[in-house]
């Protein structure tokens, strides 16, 4: 059984009677005319469909907690949708904590994660009642204990560990191998536990947390990750006479960006994880733990598309043809950072046959600002609307104002209705935080 992460397009995508691409019952050409481009478009039905597919896939296991990985894309509207679907939130900054809180998320179902949390961020997490904090290092243990003590609270924590599992993703998005900036090495776990038991009275260790990477296409790594954590829990039980009750496996399930991509279904990884928990809990003599899963990209990636308007073009003599759009590396840096691949179609005439191979270039002042190399397209004209699929994850969340270009708007579509969930920036907003020292002010 396939799940929505295995599709390039949102579940509601179709060609309508005007022969335009439509998502969520909304004509993409009309959205481009109404809101301008570049434009991020998110399909609510796809978000909810994938969230429910996760819950269904893990429904046979009684102790499961779903945490949306907020770093992929987080706004108040996205928080509301996933809160309604029963998800908590994996948060990695004060900004994400504040967004979840102000949008009405159940903070007890949330986790604060990250490798260099500040004192102020930890203070905010404790004050707002974040349910779990995943502690990454020795400094954080001391900081968090001080924060908890000053608030007269005992905080449930996980220890984030590096399990030594290397999956075949881009090296920049591998996080579970031994040479990593994240988490305690397994050889450091005992020292951390001794500190918690002997000095840090305001910390209550309940489990272990690991994350093995992003855009993962292998299922076996999830089995191995569970085994590493349960074996470690068994060792801790034997040495310290405490039995940890939670494992957080992170997220990382891949999605289908191009036809050649073959990510596993949500059901496949659920089966692998549940099987591993049951087999390895029995093998190592520990209770079956509460499992935390942190899907981000696999929920929001397929749910989002980005619309661009075609501008200039350039045919290099005896070389490539470049077609420029009105966005690029500032609204989607992934092609420049990771050599990420995307699929695009002409939203205003998707039935036209591809007749040429072009390089789709961004508008920014960098030679590396290329969105797609060797894209097979119909002949593109100025004013055509391009729809880039699977841009919901790490597009807006990694965007910038490079070249002082305004960040685009984001809209949510559902049942033929479109709603702004992030306003397009204005020039006034762009300069609103700028300050001119008095000595530089122009004398009138």
pLDDT at 361: 98
Helix, strand or coil for residue 211?
coil
Q: Tell me: the pLDDT tens digits for 36-56?
A: 999 999 999 999 999 999 999
pLDDT in tens, 150-164: 999 999 999 999 987
Does residue 169 carry a pLDDT above 50? no
What is the mean pLDDT of the segment spanning 137-148? 97
Tell me the HSE value of 207 on the side-chain side, using a 13 A CA sphere.
21
- Give 333's pLDDT tier (boundaries 50, 70, 90): very high
Question: In sequence order, which residues have a C-beta less than 8 Å from that of residue 326 and are 6 or more positions away?
Answer: 37, 38, 308, 309, 311, 363
* β-bridge mates for residue 132, sequence order: 111
Distance CA 36, CA 26 (A): 15
Helix axes 138-150, 119-127, angle to 10 degrees: 50
pLDDT band at 171 (very low <50, low <70, confident <90, very high): very low
Percent of the chain surpassing pLDDT 90: 93
Whole-model pTM: value is 0.94
At residue 229, the pLDDT reads 96
Task: Report the pLDDT value the prediction gives residue 179, as an integer from 0 to 100.
Answer: 61
421 Ramachandran zone, left/alpha/beta (phi>0; psi -120 to 50) = alpha
**Torsions phi, psi for 53 (to 5 deg):** -65, -35
Separation of alpha carbons 183 and 287, rounded Å: 24
Range list for CATH 3.20.20.10 in the chain: 44-300
pLDDT at 347 over 80: yes
User: Considering just the CA atoms, what is the radius of gyration of the chain in Å?
Assistant: 23
Q: What letter would DSSP give residue 440? A: G
pLDDT for residue 344:
98
Alpha carbon 254 to chain centroid, angstroms:
11
Backbone angles phi, psi at 155, to 5 degrees: -110, 130
- What pLDDT is stored for residue 181 in this prediction? 78
Alpha carbon distance, N-terminus to C-terminus of the chain = 71
pLDDT digit string (tens) for 371-421? 999 999 999 999 999 999 999 999 999 999 999 999 999 999 999 999 999
Domain with CATH 2.40.37.10 in the chain: 4-42+302-430
Read off φ and ψ for residue 216, nearest 5 degrees.
Answer: -90, 130
Give residue 238's pLDDT: 97
Q: What is the CATH number of domain 4-42+302-430?
A: 2.40.37.10
Whose structure tokens read 């999830």? 222
Active-site annotation holds for 167 = no
CB-based contact 252:273 (threshold 8 Å): no
CA distances from 401 to 67, 105, 165, 404, 429 (A): 30, 29, 36, 5, 11
- Give the pLDDT score at 167: 46
Cβ-in-10-Å burial (0-12, 13-18, 19+) of 10 comes to buried
Chain position carrying tokens 């070249």: 403
> Is 404 buried (19+), middle (13-18) or exposed (0-12) by CB count in 10 A?
exposed
To the question of domain 44-300 being in CATH 3.40.50.300, the answer is no
- Torsion-angle region of 208 (φ positive above 0: left; ψ -120 to 50: alpha; else: beta): beta
Digit-coded pLDDT (tens) for 306-324: 999 999 999 999 899 999 9
Catalytic pick from 167, 262, 365, 387? 365
Tokens of 438: 């008095």
Strands 246-248 and 385-389: unpaired
Give me the residue label for tokens 């948060």. Answer: 91
Greater confidence (121 vs 318) lies with 121
The stretch 269-276 carries a mean pLDDT of 98
**Rounded distance, CA 193 to CA 236, Å?**
9
């Amino acid at each position: 059984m396939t799940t929505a992460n295995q599709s390039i397009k949102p579940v509601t995508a179709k060609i309508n009677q005007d022969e335009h691409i439509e998502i969520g019952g909304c004509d993409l050409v009309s959205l481009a005319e109404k809101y301008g481009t570049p434009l991020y478009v998110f399909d609510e039905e796809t978000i909810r469909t994938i969230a429910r597919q996760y819950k269904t896939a893990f429904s046979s296991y009684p102790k499961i907690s779903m945490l949306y990985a907020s770093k992929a894309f987080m706004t108040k509207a996205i928080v509301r949708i996933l809160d309604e679907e029963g998800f908590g939130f994996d948060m990695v900054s004060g900004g994400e904590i504040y967004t979840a809180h102000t949008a009405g998320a159940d903070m007890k179902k949330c986790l604060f994660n990250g490798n260099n949390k500040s004192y102020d961020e930890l203070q905010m997490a404790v004050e707002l009642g974040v349910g779990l904090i995943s502690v990454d290092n020795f400094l954080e243990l001391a900081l968090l204990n001080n924060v908890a003590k000053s608030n007269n609270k005992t905080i449930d924590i996980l220890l984030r560990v590096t399990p030594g599992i290397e999956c075949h993703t881009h090296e920049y998005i591998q996080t579970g191998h031994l040479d990593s900036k994240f988490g305690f090495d397994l050889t450091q776990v005992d020292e951390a536990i001794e500190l918690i038991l002997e000095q840090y009275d305001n910390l209550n260790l309940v489990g272990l947390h690991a994350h093995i990477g992003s855009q993962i296409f292998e299922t076996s790594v999830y089995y191995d990750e569970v085994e590493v954590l349960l074996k470690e829990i068994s060792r801790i039980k034997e040495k310290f006479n405490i039995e940890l009750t939670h494992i957080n496996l992170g997220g990382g399930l891949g999605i289908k960006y191009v036809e050649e991509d073959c990510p596993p279904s949500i059901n496949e990884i659920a089966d692998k994880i549940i099987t591993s928990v049951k087999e390895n809990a029995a093998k190592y003599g520990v209770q079956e733990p509460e499992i935390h899963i942190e899907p981000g990209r696999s929920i929001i990636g397929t749910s989002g598309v980005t619309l661009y308007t075609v501008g200039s073009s350039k045919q290099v003599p005896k070389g490539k043809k470049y077609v420029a759009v009105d966005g690029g590396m500032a609204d989607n840096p992934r092609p420049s950072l990771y050599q990420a691949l995307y699929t695009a179609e002409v939203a205003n005439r998707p039935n036209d046959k591809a007749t040429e191979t072009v390089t789709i270039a961004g508008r920014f002042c960098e030679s590396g600002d290329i969105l797609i190399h060797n894209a097979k397209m119909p002949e593109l004209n100025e004013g055509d609307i391009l729809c880039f699929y699977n841009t919901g994850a790490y597009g807006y969340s990694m965007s910038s104002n490079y070249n002082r270009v305004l960040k685009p708007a984001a809209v949510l579509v559902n049942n033929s209705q479109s709603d702004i969930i992030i306003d397009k920036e204005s020039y006034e907003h762009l300069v609103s935080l700028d300050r001119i020292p008095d000595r530089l002010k122009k004398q009138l």
